[in-house]
Structure 1
């Protein structure tokens, strides 16, 4: 979770330093994509954990 927070800070810093609208839009989209990717990673980890504890496998 620390990595996504650091990444979001870096992206926000780059976005705030940019004067070009297209770059700002890119960094905003990049931040959104990073958050979505983190959400998918967490879901996959939860699914894996759930499958490992499935009592039907015992």
Structure 2
């Protein structure tokens, strides 16, 4: 999480300090990808935990 916060902060800093459209677009896309990955990781962790605690699996 620390690295994720740091990279998002750096991407935002670059985004804020440039007027180049291509660079701004790339920085925004990179931020969006990182945030989407975080959502998917959280979802998968929740799914794994739900599977582990499923009563159907207790008998195995």
TM tier relative to shorter chain: 0.7 to 0.9
How many Å separate the matches in 2 of 1:40 and 1:55?
Answer: 25
What is the count of residue pairs matched by the alignment? 58
The gaps in structure 2 that reach 5 residues or longer are: none
Deviations 1:25-57 (A, max 9, x none): 110111111100100000000000000001111
Specify which structure has the higher proportion of helix. 1
Q: CA RMSD in A?
A: 1.3
The gaps in structure 1 that reach 5 residues or longer are: none
TM-score normalized by structure 1?
0.85
**Larger Rg computed on CA atoms:** 2
| Equivalent in the alignment of 2:42 | 42
Report 1 or 2 for greater relative contact order, CA contacts < 8 Å, sequence distance ≥ 6: 1
How many Å separate the matches in 2 of 1:41 and 1:3?
Answer: 15
| Equivalent in the alignment of 1:17 | 17
| Equivalent in the alignment of 2:51 | 51
